[in-house]
């Protein structure tokens, strides 16, 4: 497990609150990505996103849910635990942003909120 190369948020995408995070994957993938695998939480688990990863030549590191009506098997739990252990190193950056008050905004429209979040990320 390698540490993140940069401890900075280099790019961001601000969406309305009602936008589904899982549908934003094609727009946030970077062509300059040097990793061979994408790590993501369960909200990104869809056939469309797996297809996008295959088109970009990336292995899927997306955590998965148990099928409806079934309990998660030990293998699925271990897979998700491994993925989340690696993801936690990146999530620390976003936790520090939340501690600075950067995840809460007060404007009613998207553009002032995007400016406020961008300034918090830059600071």
Give the number of domains in the chain.
1
Q: Contacts for 73-80 with beta carbons within 8 Å, 24 or more apart?
A: 80/42
Query: Whole-model pTM?
Result: 0.69
Contact (CB, 8 A) for 76 and 64: yes
83 part of a folded domain: yes
Residue 29's domain comprises 21-87
Residue at 10 is within a domain: no
Tell me the C-alpha to C-alpha distance, in Å, between residue 111 and each of 90, 92, 105, 107, 117.
26, 26, 11, 9, 10
In a domain, 71, yes or no: yes
- Segment 9-30 shows an average pLDDT of 82
Q: What is the pLDDT of residue 48?
A: 92
Q: Residue 58: inside a domain, yes or no? A: yes
Average pLDDT over residues 12-32: 83
Residue-wise pLDDT for 45-103, tens only, equals 889 999 998 988 888 888 888 877 777 788 888 988 888 888 887 777 777 777 776 56
pLDDT for the residue numbered 1: 44
């Amino acid at each position: 497990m390698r540490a993140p190369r940069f401890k900075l948020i280099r790019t961001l995408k601000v969406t309305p609150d009602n936008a589904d995070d899982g549908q934003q994957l094609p727009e946030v993938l970077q062509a300059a990505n040097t990793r061979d695998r994408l790590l993501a939480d369960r909200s990104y688990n869809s056939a469309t996103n797996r297809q996008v990863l295959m088109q970009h030549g990336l292995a899927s590191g997306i955590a998965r849910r148990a099928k409806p009506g079934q309990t998660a098997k030990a293998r699925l739990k271990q897979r998700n635990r491994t993925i989340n252990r690696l993801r936690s190193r990146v999530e620390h950056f976003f936790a520090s942003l939340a501690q600075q008050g950067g995840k809460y905004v007060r404007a009613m429209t998207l553009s002032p909120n995007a400016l406020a979040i961008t300034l918090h990320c830059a600071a």
